[in-house]
Amino acid sequence: MKHGIGLPVYPGVAMGKPLVYRKPEAASSDVGTPEAEALKFHRACQEAKNQLSALAKIAREGLGGEQAEILEVQVLMLEDGELLEGVEAAIASGASAAEAVQQQGEAMAQDMAALDDDYLRGRAADIRDAAARVTGILRGSGTFSFPEGKFLLLAEDLAPSETVRLPRDRVLGLVTRQGSANSHTAILARTLNIPTLVQADMDLKDGENAKILAIDASCGEWFLDPDEETLARLKEKQSSLNHQQTGLDAYRDRETVTASGRKIQLFANVGSAEDVAEAQAVGAEGIGLYRSEFLYLGREKLPSEEELFEAYRTAAERMKGRSVIIRTLDIGADKQASYLNLPAEENPALGLRGLRLCLAHPELFLPQLRAIYRASAYGNLSLMFPMVTSLWELQEAKRLCTQVCLELEDDGVAYREIPIGIMIETPAAALEAREFAKEADFLSVGTNDLTQYTLAQDRQNAALERFFDPCHPALLKLLRSIAEAAGQAGIWAGICGELAGDATLAGMFLDMGYRELSMAPGRILEVRKTICEREETP
């Protein structure tokens, strides 16, 4: 038996076959013969042109001219004789297809940037972007194939684009060597309700050689090939935890109200249709955060407006008139969709992510807005923008919403005018909450990112765990002032970061004036029990 510890991020006991997840191999970096590399280049170039043409079509339908033209110009750039000849010459002199495209794209971009003509200078970024798309395809990666049956997954770490591919009904538990309590792996574990340890001190090779892995994620322990006594002890604990969970069932259909009659709504955080079913099953009073980017991750191409519409409509219909808040695309930082071929960033958490990315790429944003508004006719939808920093971003996003509504009206498509809220995730938005509260219909605090940016702590960095303080006075001051700003403007404020699911903090949030807490479905019953049992002095 081998034994060690990890940081528990979702409690519970699990045992079963270990499966070690290895990152899928990136396409081989070996350089083939010039003929083979040239063939790879032409195939990747064709694939990039197909992607760009598809995006241009979406842009033209959604928004008309300008964005579509840029994408069409990028298609022409990839057919440009100078580019093709330059790449072929570099390949002939020994470069790999990816190196050749990168070099030639950069050389052409620099030539353009040096021109006098403003328009042509502006095209330098487009040629870089088009070349990056081709190299992205050339360096693209494969996928991991999961065997049959149930297992506990062991990994170095998991990116959101990997977690969405997990066969969720077969994962009994998760153990990662990296990760932090606020990482998206931890968030996924809470959403899926599976016992999880991060920062485990386990050698993955030992995991590969073991027959059984048992974890006690209530106290942060793991055991490889546990002896009989340990296994019996863990099984007993597992059944006592199941028993406690059954005790919470009584809170499933109750209102969340304290003994003195103060009410708060408990909503669920979801990322897929399965999560919506889970939210319903635990008596969520609504969906407070639909992480819509999960519909874009772990796949090979952009979801169509129709696919998005179906997902949102399903959520709206399933929740039967209860509120469903769809957060618009929050791609960037650790949530990457490789087919978008977005340029690498030095500091992605501070980069072109969330609403910033959507405003920079309306060809991505407008189809999503159209899908949300179309689905609004089928239930009680709201929309919410992530990573807002300045008021103009919200105003511009609202203008795009109006544009979409006008288009739907022209097309004779049914929609409703729905509440538009923002996430407060940056200190700037928190400090300007009063101004935002005049423009938004509600404010929902994303404490995961707000903590990261306020305390200057990368939420992915395992080494910062001891510095992480959800009750840091700076954070509490911001939280208090956000609720006050909402109250003064006569709108509601909620919390949808992971802190919302911490039963020990629920009373404090209620006292601050928060009217909604949105959390992993698996956390709702315990938080409801805590609020319903709250002793309050009059």
DSSP at 347: S
In the complex with ligand PEP, the residue whose CB is nearer, 269 or 530, is 269
Amino acid at 435: E
Closest CA to 164 of 195, 191, 199, 203: 191
Say whether residue 497 binds ligand PEP (CB under 6 A). Answer: yes
Phi-psi group of 6: left, alpha or beta (phi > 0 → left; psi -120 to 50 → alpha; rest → beta): beta
Active-site annotation holds for 496: yes
Q: What percentage of the chain's residues is helix, strand, coil (to nearest 5)?
A: 50, 15, 30
Residues 510, 515, 519, 525, CA torsion sign: positive
Tokens 């079913």 identify what position?
A: 277
454 binds ligand PEP (CB under 6 A): no
Residue 516 as a binder of ligand PEP (CB under 6 A): the answer is no
CA distance 532 to 46: 60
Q: Max alpha carbon distance in the chain (Å)?
A: 82
Q: What does 96 bind: ligand PEP, Mg ion, none (CB cut-off 5 to 8 Å by kind)?
A: none
Give which of Mg ion, ligand PEP, none residue 221 binds (C-beta under 5 to 8 Å, depending on kind).
none
To Mg ion, the closest distance from the beta carbon of 349 in angstroms equals: 10
Query: Of 99 and 425, which CB lies nearer to Mg ion in the complex structure?
Result: 425
Q: Pick from 449, 502, 516, 526: which binds ligand PEP (CB under 6 A)?
A: 449
In this structure, what token pair is assigned to residue 135?
A: 């190299």
CB of 449 or CB of 516, closer to Mg ion: 449
List the interface residues with ligand PEP, window 315-374 (CB under 6 A): 330
74 part of the interface to ligand PEP, by CB under 6 A: no
C-beta of 37 vs 498, nearer to ligand PEP:
498
* Shortest reach from residue 372's CB to ligand PEP, in Å: 17
Known catalytic membership, residue 184? yes
271 binds ligand PEP (CB under 6 A): no
Q: How many residues bind ligand PEP (CB under 6 A)?
A: 11
Footprint of ligand PEP on 158-187 (CB under 6 A): 187
From the CB of 475, what's the least distance to ligand PEP, in Å?
A: 12
d(CA 479, CA 506): 13
Among residues 199 and 454, whose Cβ is nearest to ligand PEP? 454
Give the orientation angle of helix 97-113 with respect to helix 81-92, to 10 degrees.
Answer: 140
* The token pair that represents 192 in the structure block: 């899926």
Residue whose CB is less far from Mg ion, 499 or 525: 499
CA distance 247 to 416: 40
Query: Whole-angstrom Cα distance, residue 220 to residue 239?
Result: 18
Q: What is the number of other CB atoms lying within 10 angstroms of the CB of residue 146?
A: 15
Give the separation between CA 475 and CA 445, rounded to whole angstroms. Answer: 11
Q: Which stretch binds ligand PEP (CB under 6 A): 229-237, 239-247, 272-280, 445-453?
A: 445-453
Q: Which of 285, 407, 425, 502 binds ligand PEP (CB under 6 A)?
A: 425
- Of ligand PEP, Mg ion, none, which one sits near residue 497, judging by CB under 5 to 8 A according to partner kind? ligand PEP
- Please, which residue, 265 or 447, has the CB nearer to ligand PEP? 447
Active-site hit among 45, 184, 358, 361:
184
Provide the minimum distance between the beta carbon of 319 and ligand PEP in the complex, in angstroms, as a whole number: 19
- Residue 176 interacts, among ligand PEP, Mg ion, none and using kind-specific CB cut-offs from 5 to 8 Å, with none
Residues near Mg ion (CB under 5 A) are: 425, 446, 449
Helix H or strand E segment including 152 = strand 151-155
For ligand PEP, which is the closer residue by CB, 58 or 189? Answer: 189
What order do you get walking across the sheet with 13-16 strand by strand? Answer: 2-5, 221-224, 213-216, 13-16
Compute the least distance from the CB of residue 331 to ligand PEP, in Å: 11
Q: Of the ranges 104-112, 209-217, 232-240, 440-448, which one interacts with ligand PEP (CB under 6 A)?
A: 440-448
**Contact status: 190 vs ligand PEP (CB under 6 A):** no
How many Cα atoms within 13 Å fall on the side-chain side of residue 145? 2
Q: Render 321-335 in DSSP notation, one character per residue.
A: TSEEEEEP---BTTB
Nearest-angstrom CA–CA distance, 93 and 472:
58
45, 358, 401, 496: the active-site residue: 496
* Strands of 18-21's sheet in order across: 7-10, 196-198, 171-176, 151-155, 18-21
With binding defined as CB under 6 A, does residue 448 bind ligand PEP? yes
Q: Which region among 132-140, 202-210, 234-242, 441-449 touches ligand PEP (by CB under 6 A)? A: 441-449
Question: Taking CB positions, which residue lies at the least distance from Mg ion?
Answer: 449
Strands 420-424 and 442-445, bridge-based pairing: parallel
Asked if 524 touches ligand PEP (CB under 6 A), the answer is no
With residue 246 as reference, give the H or E element that holds it. helix 228-248
> Based on CB atoms, which residue is closest to ligand PEP, 157 or 425?
425
Please report whether residue 447 would count as binding ligand PEP according to CB under 6 A.
Answer: yes
Whole-angstrom Cα distance, residue 228 to residue 161?
A: 38
The least distance separating ligand PEP from the CB of residue 406, rounded to whole angstroms, comes to 30
- For ligand PEP, the binding residue among 133, 291, 370, 523 (CB under 6 A) is 291
Under a CB-based contact definition with an 8 Å cutoff, are residues 418 and 376 in contact? yes
**Catalytic positions, please?**
184, 496
Question: What is the contact surface with ligand PEP in residues (CB under 6 A)?
Answer: 187, 289, 291, 330, 425, 446-449, 496-497
